[in-house]
């Protein structure tokens, strides 16, 4: 293979792209959607420099409706075993947790909007956000801490907001969202269908107030992941 190996990005909805992740990791991206394929062909781990798994509205264990989720989980388990850098976001973190032996907690508690998260342990990548950053939450499901993983962040509603398992970092919250991506989400009926107009406008206002400071810290976070990717190269 000539040139740097790409980062595989698994996407589950057209509006839930990598956002700041793609800008910050400074590596070519290979975006795939395998959600509804019964037997998807995914690249071999020696063909990629890292794996990023994005969010989506489906339950992480719903392989009957979305059979491709099983292949994603198998890939994530193999990537951690092979020490390949992995980043899982929201649904992606839940898939990572399931791949590592944790249990999905459906409808554990809804968190939608900007709110603080408490960082509980030092991590060379996640630490870029600071000790108690205000971040964007958008989920109903949660996942337990996988066996042997380190709990990195928590909220009262969702005890496992981030974890580290070897080469893998899971984030339940959405640090990847910048102003254009947030605008897209707030204009997408599938994202805001259960929110009333006041809730949507409150998130829009919070984004305008929070993202100018949050986005640079998030870019630093994802640049730290990018350093691991480039080291694998």
Catalytic annotation, residues? 90, 174, 176
Looking at the chain, the number of H-run helices and the number of E-run strands are: 6, 12
Asked if residue 178 lies in contact with residue 20, where contact means CB atoms within 8 angstroms, the answer is: yes
- Cβ neighbours of 31 (radius 10 Å): 15
Contact by Cβ (8 Å): 10, 92: yes
Angle at which helix 197-232 crosses helix 179-186, to 10 degrees, equals 140
Report the C-alpha gap between 55 and 90 in whole angstroms.
5
CA–CA dist 177, 179 (Å, integer) = 7
Long-range contacts of 208-214 (CB under 8 A, 24+ apart): 208/179, 210/114, 210/134, 211/177, 211/178, 211/179, 211/182, 214/133, 214/134, 214/135, 214/175
**Rounded CA separation 144/16 (Å):** 23
Give kind and range of the element (H or E) at residue 7. strand 7-10
Which among 217, 140, 205 is positioned nearest to 179, based on CA atoms?
205
């Amino acid at each position: 293979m000539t040139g740097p190996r790409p980062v595989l990005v698994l996407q589950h909805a057209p509006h839930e792209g990598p956002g700041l992740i793609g800008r910050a990791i400074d590596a070519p991206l290979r975006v795939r959607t395998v959600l509804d394929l019964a037997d998807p062909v995914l690249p071999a781990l020696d063909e990629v420099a890292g794996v990023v798994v994005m969010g989506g509205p489906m339950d992480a264990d719903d392989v009957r409706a979305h059979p491709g989720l099983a292949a994603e989980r198998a890939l994530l388990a193999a990537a951690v075993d092979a020490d390949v850098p992995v980043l899982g976001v929201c649904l992606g973190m839940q898939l990572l947790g399931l791949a590592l032996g944790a249990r999905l907690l459906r409808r554990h508690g809804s968190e939608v909007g900007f709110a603080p998260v408490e960082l509980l342990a030092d991590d060379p990548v996640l630490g870029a956000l600071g000790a108690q950053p205000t971040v964007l939450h958008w989920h109903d499901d949660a996942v337990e801490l996988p066996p042997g993983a380190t709990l990195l962040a928590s909220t009262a509603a969702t005890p496992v907001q981030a974890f580290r398992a070897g080469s893998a970092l899971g984030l339940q919250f959405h640090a990847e969202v910048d102003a254009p991506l947030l605008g897209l989400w707030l204009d997408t009926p599938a994202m805001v269908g259960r929110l009333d107009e006041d809730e949507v406008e409150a998130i829009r206002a919070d984004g305008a107030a929070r993202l100018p400071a949050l986005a640079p810290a998030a870019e630093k976070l994802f640049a730290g992941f990018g350093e691991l990717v480039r080291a694998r190269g």
